[in-house]
Structure 1
Amino acid sequence: MKDSTHTLPAGSPVDSPLSHASSGGTVLDSAYSWYALFIMAVACALSYIDRQLLNLLVDPVRHSLQITDTQVSLVQGAAFVSAYLIAVPIYGRLADTTNRRNVLVAGICAWSVFTALCGRAESYGELFAFRFFVGASEACIIPVCYSLIADYFSAQRMPRAVSLFHVAPLVGSGVSLVVGGLVFALANNVRTLLPILNTLAVWQMAFVLIGLPGLLVAAVVFLTVREPTRSQTTHPKAADRPYTVRETATFIWTRRGFYVRFYLSIGMFAIVILGLPAWLPTFLIRVHGAARATIGFQFGVVVIICATVGILIGPWISSAIFEKRGRSDALLRTAAWSMIAAAICCAAVPFTPDVTSTLAVTAAAVFFFSLPTGIMPTTIQLATPSRMRGTVGAFYTFSSQSIGFGLGPTSIALMTDKVFQDPKMVGSSIAIVCPIASVIACWLLFSSLKHYRRLLEERKANGALNAA
């Protein structure tokens, strides 16, 4: 493989993050690349803290606003995802054609404000509307950050970088549970320190306290992260120009054997990764009598630890098991097999006799469904030209959010409300919905392997992977 390092102009400093931020050049895999990745990961974690907080607050919100599980699931899913789906193609196009850093800053500011406004909601309609705008603003995170990461790192380092980035969403989900639990446990102390929150219910207070600090993260992104040089990952002699919408659509459509299967598998996988955390705390509270503050902390710690280990070990498993056997599709194979393991763990949830055993089964499920989360975005970035990565990343998140948020929490709630007609059967609903989605995702990935290998060969023949 050719040397993939881009150099800065002569005399430019390369060690300080701030000095890199003021330069127009980019050094792939440099100290500044890792710094920028860390800041993007913090922003991504923040977005997941904001969007997943509601998972711990299902019953308080339901009782306060006098709504059903299905209505809560619509706030978790439909309100968020409908706006997300409208906005994400726009952000994808912006990531391919304009300054990505500025788009990210605007998105962080917007979702932070609207998350805080969820804490001012006094009716179901207001909460639904504020969640809609949270979804619209958080849609920027994946297409923008995927595109930036691909221009900060070489093809060799990209799997590790993307895996580290994807620690953020699951850690953010865990932190939201921990912080939400602490707010419940320390509500009176918080009111003493911040009398302005006295009029708010505890669940409203949680949204305000978690939403507003995001403005500080936006300031850090604006002041220290700069737009990297876009890499040329088509033919080495190709001009670095934006592709038209028609050219991008043609590229994806002519390779639909891979892209369609891949995007559908992401959606099925997202049902598991969004559906299980959305309802497991409620299962523990309703069925096993767990205290909300306690289970928020315990489940949050499980998610943070197991998700981090799963994401970081994913590339190593791919390399140790499949790449050493000469499998060019090693990343996708690892993802497919991990989904089978996750299905088995999810199916065991309603059969656990107590909180401890439930958390043990959940820890295994979180580990296995975390393995693909850093691997799968890497596969699609390596297979796609730089000036299309924002759009392709937008389709990636479009599929995951439309199917995952659209069907994940709501399908579990509908199973509980309409099929079992018993709130305490939520564990059985999890055990039906999540394994079925995992098996479908696995089948789609295995059927896409030959198409992915063909696409990698095409890119390698054009020198694209060397240039990446």
Structure 2
Amino acid sequence: MDESTNASVGKSDATEIFASRVVPAPSLSSQRIVLDSVYSWYVLGILTVSYSLAYIDRQLLNLLVDPIKHSLLISDTQISLIQGSAFIAAYLLASPFFGRLVDSTNRRNVLLFGVCAWSICTALCGKADTYSELFIARFGVGVSEACAFPVGCSLIADYFSARRAARALSILTLGPLLGGGFSLVAGGLVIAFADSVRQHVPEFANLVTWKLAFVLVGLPGFLLALVLLTVREPTRRVALKAIADDRKYTSREAAAYIWARRGFYMRIYFGIGMQAIVALGVPTWLPSFLIRYHHVPPALVGYHFGLLVVTCGSIGVVVGPWVSRLLERKGYDDAALRASAMSMCLMTVACAAIPVMPGPISALTAAACAIFFWSIPAANITVAMQLGTPNRMRGVVSSLFTFFAQLIGFGIGPTAIALITDRIFHDPKMVGASLGIVCSIASAVAVLLIFSALPQYRKLLDDERHVRPS
């Protein structure tokens, strides 16, 4: 496979290389797809809502642990398997499959199927009467939600120019933050108005509150599916120098392409996995640290920390592309990855500071800094991979990106913190120290991986310049 399939993601270079033909949308409309148009931003809004809704459905279970345990007569271990293993195993198994579908079929239809499927499975969680039924329904949620990220990344690459792609991807990556926050709101509203809903809707009269919550949260997905019908599947854009290469790649070709550039891709994948340890470990154990060590009431912890996650995370995601453009203006071709590595350096300091802060407010401040700095790389790393990968492989690259993030983040982060607390410190109050150790080490490893990927990234850019036609 020719090196000319690589693409530069520097501002001026990427804009030139990925300036594409404006082409008619296939079959669904005779109108032309105009990059960065009002319609492009409309589609982005729908994609972001879809990604957010996936996280609302995913996180709702965490609010209903005790009523589910009491209703189904299951243990903490069993509920933890439903929370983690049932979802993540399904998500990881389905991610490569959806990545291939995104590269070879109608992406809007893939997302349409996914939204309907995860909405049905979420509602089925509310119809479960046994542990096995709930486990299977949760598995279905994990399988179907695996499509959201690769579909969103691939469509954005064809609806936005290189100049606007980073901003668009930064908005898409707000989905998990918004979804995680709104899941708390949605669950709380359902619980508060459960009796009223049962009274006015006879079909729900026999549902206990936790079952009603799943059913009601699953229903909005079908409305979103109707809105998705207004999204047109755009013709896939290709580099000017590689128009003839707009073809479907076999799994063997895709694997060979990534392996040949493993110095770049593997550093990115493992680097984002290390970053995911922090992104999952801090929200999982910081509340316990504040409650056990600083004696903060649980209700206040949930409110204040939830607010920090939404606000600081959202600001970091939006600021990320701005930092990248600032470095571009200073002459750094590798600005997207350089900005990510720099923010991860500061993330390391913030993580190490959390357990040594003298009070709960200062500990929350350090956590807010960590959240802000781990959010900056989200869009920058994603756009670098999307614009640097052939169109028909972007789904696979994106699915592997989220695969490694979920696998390493969920597989190591929260469990490693708990093991250090239980096996080394033998004191539940030391969970803050465990959190600081695991997250600061993971952050430092992420910094090393991303910084070491910069030469590989610059080499890809140099190769691109040498093969670009005059």
TM class by smaller structure:
0.7 to 0.9
1:240 matched to 2:240? The reply is no
| Counterpart-to-counterpart distance in 1, 2:434 and 2:212 | 30
Instruction: Give the alignment partner of residue 109 of structure 2, picking from 95, 102, 108.
Output: 102
Aligned partner letter, 1:4: A
Stretch moving more, 93-102 or 164-173: 164-173
Mapping of residues 215-234 of structure 1, within 5 Å: 215-221=222-228, 223-233=229-239
| Alpha-carbon spacing, 1:257–1:109, altered in 2? closer, same or farther (3 Å) | same
Aligned partner letter, 2:124: L
Aligned partner letter, 1:265: G
Task: Report the alpha carbon displacement of residue 236 of structure 1 after superposing the two structures with TM.
Answer: 3.5
| Alpha-carbon spacing, 1:211–1:81, altered in 2? closer, same or farther (3 Å) | same
| Counterpart-to-counterpart distance in 1, 2:419 and 2:124 | 28
Structure 1 counterpart of 2:276: 270
| Counterpart-to-counterpart distance in 1, 2:199 and 2:465 | 62
CA contact (8 A) 1:20 1:32 kept: no
Structure 2 counterpart of 1:88: 95
1:453 matched to 2:433? The reply is no
1:71-127 CA distances to partner (integer Å, 9 max, x unpaired)?
554433322221112111111111111111111011111112222333344554444
| Counterpart-to-counterpart distance in 1, 2:79 and 2:278 | 18
Structure 1 counterpart of 2:368: 363
CA contact (8 A) 2:277 2:413 kept: yes
| Counterpart-to-counterpart distance in 2, 1:348 and 1:60 | 36
1:201-260 CA distances to partner (integer Å, 9 max, x unpaired)?
554443333222122112211x21111110113734424211222221221111111011
Instruction: Give the alignment partner of residue 171 of structure 1, picking from 174, 178, 197.
Output: 178
Q: What do you get for the CA RMSD once the two structures are aligned?
A: 3.1
Q: Percent identity?
A: 54
| Counterpart-to-counterpart distance in 1, 2:412 and 2:137 | 20
Stretch moving more, 414-423 or 231-240: 414-423
| Alpha-carbon spacing, 1:399–1:54, altered in 2? closer, same or farther (3 Å) | same
| Counterpart-to-counterpart distance in 1, 2:290 and 2:67 | 15
Instruction: Give the alignment partner of residue 306 of structure 1, picking from 312, 332, 339.
Output: 312
Structure 2: tracts of 5 or more residues without a match: 1-14
1:42 matched to 2:49? The reply is yes
Aligned partner letter, 2:180: S
Instruction: Give the alignment partner of residue 390 of structure 1, picking from 374, 395, 403.
Output: 395
Aligned partner letter, 1:235: K
Mapping of residues 136-175 of structure 1, within 5 Å: 136-175=143-182
Structure 2 counterpart of 1:15: none
| Alpha-carbon spacing, 1:159–1:239, altered in 2? closer, same or farther (3 Å) | same
| Counterpart-to-counterpart distance in 1, 2:433 and 2:132 | 30
Stretch moving more, 126-135 or 250-259: 126-135
Instruction: Give the alignment partner of residue 436 of structure 1, picking from 436, 441, 457.
Output: 441
Structure 1 counterpart of 2:75: 67
CA contact (8 A) 2:343 2:376 kept: yes
| Counterpart-to-counterpart distance in 2, 1:141 and 1:94 | 12
Aligned-partner SS, 1:178: helix
Stretch moving more, 393-402 or 98-107: 393-402
CA contact (8 A) 1:74 1:410 kept: no
1:336-363 CA distances to partner (integer Å, 9 max, x unpaired)?
1222322333334445566544443332
Aligned partner letter, 1:362: A
Aligned partner letter, 1:314: G
TM-score by length of 1: 0.86
| Counterpart-to-counterpart distance in 1, 2:62 and 2:431 | 14
Structure 2 counterpart of 1:16: none
TM-score by length of 2: 0.86
Instruction: Give the alignment partner of residue 7 of structure 1, picking from 14, 22, 31.
Output: 22
Stretch moving more, 92-101 or 282-291: 282-291
Aligned partner letter, 1:260: M
Structure 2 counterpart of 1:119: 126
| Alpha-carbon spacing, 1:174–1:224, altered in 2? closer, same or farther (3 Å) | same
Task: Report the alpha carbon displacement of residue 410 of structure 1 after superposing the two structures with TM.
Answer: 3.3
| Counterpart-to-counterpart distance in 2, 1:363 and 1:54 | 25
Aligned-partner SS, 2:244: coil
Instruction: Give the alignment partner of residue 30 of structure 1, picking from 24, 37, 40.
Output: 37
1:137-181 CA distances to partner (integer Å, 9 max, x unpaired)?
111111111111111111111111111111122121122233334
| Alpha-carbon spacing, 1:250–1:373, altered in 2? closer, same or farther (3 Å) | same
Aligned-partner SS, 1:156: helix
Aligned residues: 453
| Counterpart-to-counterpart distance in 2, 1:59 and 1:427 | 25
1:295-337 CA distances to partner (integer Å, 9 max, x unpaired)?
54443332221111111111111222x2233111111111112
Instruction: Give the alignment partner of residue 337 of structure 2, picking from 321, 329, 332.
Output: 332
